[in-house]
Structure 1
Amino acid sequence: MKVCPEGLYVEPGGFYVDPLRPVERAVVTHGHSDHARPGHAHVLATAGTLAIMRQRLGEGAGAATQTLDYGEAIRIGDVTVRLVPAGHVLGSAQVVLEHAGTRVVVSGDYKRRFDRTCAPFEPVPCDVFITEATFGLPVFRHPPDLGEIDKLLHSLSIFPERSHVVGAYALGKCQRVISLLRAAGYDRPIYLHGALEPICKLYESFGVPLGELRPATVAAKEELKGALVLAPPGAVADRWARRLTDPVVAMASGWMRVRQRARQRGVELPLVISDHADWDELVQTLDEVAAPEVWVTHGREEALVHHATQRGIRARALALVGFEEEGA
């Protein structure tokens, strides 16, 4: 395997994993825009990822596409390829590569928390594990998800006259927040900024129930009084939000652990809800896959490389450019 300007190249198979530039053959782990780029000639991914790519990229989703179900094996060149769940968003997958008696697993983005909106992460023992490290510092230890949702519900109860607007990424975070709210017993309509509606409908078409959702951008001002509204992080303070009554501004992101980020964005109610593994979960995953060699990419690489080295694991930082949590 080689790190090329286009991204991670699997030479015996003649394909790239999550390439950054248009290539002839791409295996795509999930639909976030820093992993699913437009313009590839051939794309292999799960049905969920391909549906997301078609919705977001249209014809740019790939001149030719092929669906690979979780656990199904396919031969590409001299490499056997399987996709297993990554627990990140709908359709997200780890790429399991086997060649000449060696198994390499490319994690893509992943989380280890229970999530009703996508298949749970499956650790795969391997010889080389290529892991993300978005929150690869010991300071990042995410609190329980339902505890953060309880904060939101408590705020709704003590400020019933105020609208609550929650910034959430369109793909994955929005649907997860809705699912957590439903699991906590919130059965009222949830209002959506128009940019969030298409992905929510796509999730529902894949059998993910989200309850009653209503468009926020055309709702009457009185209807939104005391309501819960979800919007993309960058749209929380846009002109459409003027119809919200004295809004409580919340943000759902693992970055809300960093108080300065919350203050810079004018967030009154930070909710530490992440779709990425935290430090303890990254370490747990290294233990479970038991790979003697680990490559760390797109995140806080140095700390996890140091930790792995201290544990007797051969570790290196790939320093791939162009990957980040969508919307960060």
Structure 2
Amino acid sequence: MMRPQDLLRPTPAGLYCPPGDFYIDPVRPVDRAVITHGHSDHARAGHGAVMATPETLAIMAVRYGADFAGRTQAVDYGERTSIGGVEVRLVPAGHVLGSAQAVVSQGGLIMVASGDYKRRRDPTCVAFEPTPCHVFISEATFGLPVFVHPPDTEEIQRLVLSLAQFPERAHLVGAYALGKAQRIIRLLREAGWERPIYVHGAMERLNDLYQASGVPLGPLALATGLKGGALGGEVVIAPPSAIQDRWARRFAEPITAFASGWMGVRARARQRGVELPLVISDHADWPELTRTFDEVAPEEVWITHGREEGLLRWCELAGVRARALRLVGYDEEGEGEQNVLEGAV
């Protein structure tokens, strides 16, 4: 069996496969790229060739234009393909619409680059698929034991309860435009909220894409052209930066909410001036990360970004070899996402 570092290795441009001459989620333009999902820190324009799921390619086209790459190759979940003689297969990651893990195989060695992932149910995307492998490459955004996220249904019920308690006030929910916003909308629908949900204009095209991909969002309306004191008792979803902007002043005594795994850290909620923090994350928390390692049962774990120290120690105690790759260019949960989305959508 070949050595893992001969099949995939970290480089300044990103995770590189020498025998196949391609990169996974490169942070700069390259000749050939495999993209795990559409968030801006993983999916960038300017590559010579891009392979991804059809949904991820559609997201990139919405955000960057139809000519975002020299050529594209759509690959369905589970479909086996070859790049330079290296087998590549995409399996669901459960992060956002179209998100995938890249399963890379050659010479009897199987490596899984999981991208960003979560393990709990999400009504807007296919659930994570554990894939046994020799080397599992994992994020560590919430890689400390203190991060145990509550059920998202409970967090949505807190929002619904606030709407009932303060029917005269608009509820302005900060949520990243790709993935989180659509998930919040679907969770509200499942909680029984049937009224129109108002959205920032930066989310319109991605909402349309989700619905065209078979994710029903119900009645939506743009929160534009409104006079002061508007939308009392209604839900408005906007990029996080917008809820602290002049744009938010048009709404009736707005209650500001923010949906993020970081809202479990009270200091972050206070720092953002969030009145109703909603701990809803599109990343795995500590129990989900360690459960994933148990299920995948790799011989070795590589940790790409986040809080790797806790997971390195967990692997040591579990008798699993582990290393931190410290790849640069990847954000924590959406911390840089809204800036790109607001400019592109």
- TM-score using structure 2 length: 0.93
The whole-number CA distance in structure 2 between the counterparts of 1:204 and 1:255 is 28
| Contact 1:135 1:277 (C-alpha < 8 Å) held by counterparts | yes
Structure 1 residue 60, shift from structure 2 partner:
5.4
- Kindly indicate whether residue 74 of structure 2 is the aligned counterpart of residue 29 of structure 1: no
Unaligned stretches of 5+ residues in structure 1: none
Q: 1:327 aligns with which of 331, 335, 338?
A: 335
- Where 2:244 maps in the other structure, the secondary structure is coil
**Larger mean Cα displacement after TM superposition, 250-259 or 215-224:** 215-224
The whole-number CA distance in structure 2 between the counterparts of 1:267 and 1:24 is 43
The whole-number CA distance in structure 1 between the counterparts of 2:68 and 2:134 is 32
- TM-score using structure 1 length: 0.98
The whole-number CA distance in structure 2 between the counterparts of 1:254 and 1:104 is 28
Aligned residues: 328
**AA at the equivalent of 2:45:** P
- Kindly indicate whether residue 280 of structure 2 is the aligned counterpart of residue 273 of structure 1: yes
- Where 2:88 maps in the other structure, the secondary structure is strand
Counterpart for residue 76 of structure 1: 83
Q: 1:191 aligns with which of 187, 191, 198?
A: 198
| Contact 1:33 1:326 (C-alpha < 8 Å) held by counterparts | no
Unaligned stretches of 5+ residues in structure 2: 1-7, 337-345
Deviations 1:196-235 (A, max 9, x none): 1111111001010000000012245465121110000001
| Contact 1:178 1:210 (C-alpha < 8 Å) held by counterparts | yes
Counterpart for residue 226 of structure 1: 233
Deviations 1:264-320 (A, max 9, x none): 100000000000000000000000000010000111111101111110000000000
Counterpart for residue 122 of structure 1: 129
Q: 2:183 aligns with which of 152, 171, 176?
A: 176
Q: What is the CA RMSD across the aligned residues, in angstroms?
A: 1.0
- Where 2:326 maps in the other structure, the secondary structure is coil
The whole-number CA distance in structure 2 between the counterparts of 1:287 and 1:61 is 38
Deviations 1:111-141 (A, max 9, x none): 0010110010000000000001110011110
Q: 1:298 aligns with which of 295, 305, 316?
A: 305
Q: 1:95 aligns with which of 97, 102, 118?
A: 102
Q: 2:324 aligns with which of 317, 322, 325?
A: 317
Counterpart for residue 288 of structure 1: 295
| Contact 1:233 1:251 (C-alpha < 8 Å) held by counterparts | yes
The whole-number CA distance in structure 1 between the counterparts of 2:180 and 2:189 is 14
**AA at the equivalent of 2:203:** L
| Contact 1:87 1:110 (C-alpha < 8 Å) held by counterparts | yes
- Where 1:50 maps in the other structure, the secondary structure is helix
**AA at the equivalent of 1:162:** R
The whole-number CA distance in structure 1 between the counterparts of 2:52 and 2:148 is 31
Alignment of 1:30-49 (within 5 A): 30-49=37-56
Structure 1 residue 26, shift from structure 2 partner:
0.1
The whole-number CA distance in structure 2 between the counterparts of 1:140 and 1:128 is 24
Structure 1 residue 262, shift from structure 2 partner:
0.4
- Kindly indicate whether residue 70 of structure 2 is the aligned counterpart of residue 63 of structure 1: yes
**Identical residues among aligned pairs (%):** 63
The whole-number CA distance in structure 2 between the counterparts of 1:253 and 1:300 is 17
The whole-number CA distance in structure 1 between the counterparts of 2:28 and 2:200 is 31
- Kindly indicate whether residue 163 of structure 2 is the aligned counterpart of residue 156 of structure 1: yes
- Kindly indicate whether residue 230 of structure 2 is the aligned counterpart of residue 235 of structure 1: no
| Contact 2:143 2:311 (C-alpha < 8 Å) held by counterparts | yes
